[in-house]
Amino acid sequence: MAFLTTSDGISLAVRDEQLRSPRARIVIVHGYAEYSGRYAELVERLTAHNFECHLFDLRGHGHSGGVPAHVSSFGLYIDDLRLVIQHVRETGRPRVPLLIIAHSLGGLITLELIRREPESCDGVVVSSPFLKPAFEIPMLKKLVARGASRIAPALPFSNTLDPTLLSTDREVVESYASDPLVQRTTTPRWFTEVENAQETVQEHAGEIRSPLLMLLGGDDQVADHRLAEQVFASIGSADKTLRTYEGLRHEVLNELARDTVVNDLLTWLEAHS
């Protein structure tokens, strides 16, 4: 594990699984409250097919520094991902494609990056992008969070995420629930910054023109998959593919039926490398 220093002095934990002659380099961006270590099985599957993997922990997550599960500006997430991509370009093979696989919050971050900077990578896979919660947040709670974002932006409170909503695989759920590196809190500023980013991506989806694969769970009760399908339809890319898996929950790559999802992922990656 190595560490990169962000523009505001935070240490980002990075792990490079380099290969001798990879067909592509892949940056993996995890979701909210989790960390890159939960992607070991996926990395094993990808490296077996000669895809070189580069992972990092978002600020405030896993082994990275920063206030737990907090961001003062969504743009810092973009800066951090840009920093990791620069690191991969400097340490990896320059003549092979650079692709991104991003989950949930990572998907939101990545979609906003490629909207702003389509040249950042050669293609993107997003699984269950967190474009809107699948559940209704009471207006009073939203108003309190918006007010607290101004006066106590980093105040921690419980994220109330039910691990059973992530997967139908009991082992995945139990592992998540007992993992000490999984974050249990959130902050008001995180809420308002993510909410603003969600609105931006929804409104400007037509500006996204990079090759894209979107993987959705038809029983996702964390991120609104129907809204994601609507956003997908608006995305301006001429090379875009949507896969919705009925009965699968939020972590489609950690589901009991994940072999089907991973095979679809590998097929797309091989076609774009």
Supply the pLDDT for residue 140.
65
**Spatial distance between the Cα atoms of 159 and 183, rounded to a whole number of angstroms:** 8
Residues 6+ apart with CB under 8 A from 74: 109, 112, 193, 194, 196, 197
Alpha helices in 49-92, H assignment, sequence order: 74-91
Structural domains counted in the chain: 1
Q: Could you tell me the residue range of the domain that residue 258 belongs to?
A: 2-271
Query: Per DSSP, what are the bridge partners of residue 126?
Result: 102, 214
Q: What is the pLDDT along the chain (273 residues), one digit of tens a residue?
A: 999 999 999 999 999 999 989 999 999 999 999 999 999 999 999 999 999 999 999 999 999 999 999 999 999 999 999 999 999 999 866 789 999 999 999 999 999 999 999 999 999 999 999 999 998 777 767 776 778 678 888 888 888 789 999 999 999 999 999 999 999 999 999 999 999 999 999 999 999 999 999 999 999 999 999 999 999 999 999 999 999 999 999 999 999 999 999 999 999 999 999
Strands (E) in 18-50, as ranges, are 24-29
Q: Which residue has the tokens 């023109």?
A: 209
Supply the pLDDT for residue 35.
98
Q: What share of the chain is helix, strand, coil (3-state, %, to 5)?
A: 45, 20, 40
CATH number of the CATH domain containing 7: 3.40.50.1820
Under DSSP, the state recorded for 133 is: B
Supply the pLDDT for residue 157.
84
Per-residue pLDDT tens over the stretch 41-98: 999 999 999 999 999 999 999 999 999 999 999 999 999 999 999 999 998 667 899 9
**Spatial distance between the Cα atoms of 23 and 19, rounded to a whole number of angstroms:** 9
Supply the pLDDT for residue 258.
97
